[in-house]
Amino acid sequence: MNSILKTKKIIKHFDGVKAVDGLSVEIEKGKITGLIGPNGSGKTTLMNLLTGMFPFDGGFVAVDGVSGIKKIRSYDIPAFGITRTFQDVRLFEQMTVLDNILVVLTERNIVSALFERHKKIHHEKAKEVLERVGLWEKKNELAINLSYGQRKLLEIARALAMNSEIYFFDEPFAGLFPEMVKLVSGIIKELRTHGKTVVLIEHDMGLIRELCDYVFVMESGKLLAEGEPEKVLKNKDVIEAYLGE
């Protein structure tokens, strides 16, 4: 396997509960990897650990050949070629749709970005990603005034603007209309086509089957099963633990 990201026995405790319990996984470069499991299984906690939102309590990770990493800080993840979206969409509410994109295209420090002179190339890239998610016509609208689905699309556009190597998507389809689901599915497939790596948390098993090359199933902070989607979703332990059948 051509791995771009590995975890080795990583641990995260919350008030004595092991949300992630000695987990070791390998994410293959240029593939779409699904991360599934029942609520509370540790999926989002794992994503938060790998994107610098929480510190590890044990273990280490390797990212694109850099091994032995015991700490990832959120402001370091662009240097690791990582970007992400959140379940609870996080935008600059009082900024326009266009400015939400320009901020990530220019200086990473937000205050500096607001005063940086935006070059023609930045506007061209912003237009490209906003057109890709169908929001270019909303470019002058404040982010706070967008619908829920449009807000999710804007967050995805910001992730695309980062031009990262590893994309973490935390339930990107939740609450979207069917046409938006199709749009986001196409974006994720295009990332794979361009050699990018995607890690996807999703509860819709139809989408997992459609999009993912490989799947990890978590339960109680541990790895329950892994493999190709069709095989994993027929696993008796997975059916009992996750599908409730």
What is the amino acid identity at position 21?
D
CATH node for 82-163: 3.40.50.300
DSSP letter, residue 12? E
CA atoms within 13 A on the CB side of 115: 3
**Parallel/antiparallel/unpaired status of strands 3-14 and 58-63:** antiparallel
**pLDDT for the residue numbered 117:** 53
- DSSP string across 212-223: -SEEEEEETTEE
What is the amino acid identity at position 229?
P
Answer yes or no: same fold for 1-81+167-174+198-245 and 82-163: yes
68 Rama sector, left if φ>0, alpha if ψ -120 to 50, beta otherwise? left
CA nearest to 91, candidates 48, 17, 44, 147: 147
In order of 99, 177, 183, 217, the CA distances from 143 in angstroms are 9, 19, 20, 35
Fold classification of 1-81+167-174+198-245 (topology level): Rossmann fold (3.40.50)
pLDDT digits (tens, 9 = 90+) for 92-104: 999 999 999 998 8
pLDDT digits (tens, 9 = 90+) for 74-133: 888 989 999 999 888 889 999 999 999 998 887 554 555 455 555 778 889 999 999 999
Mean pLDDT by 10 residues, the chain (245 residues): 94 92 96 94 94 93 90 89 90 94 73 56 92 96 95 95 95 93 97 97 95 96 95 89 60
CA 84 centroid distance within chain? 4
**pTM of the predicted model as reported, rounded to 2 decimal places:** 0.91
* Domain map (residue ranges) of the chain: 1-81+167-174+198-245, 82-163
List, in sequence order, every beta strand (DSSP E) within the chain.
Answer: 3-14, 17-23, 26-28, 32-36, 58-63, 66-69, 82-84, 166-170, 197-201, 214-219, 222-227
147 φ, ψ (degrees, to nearest 5): -70, 170
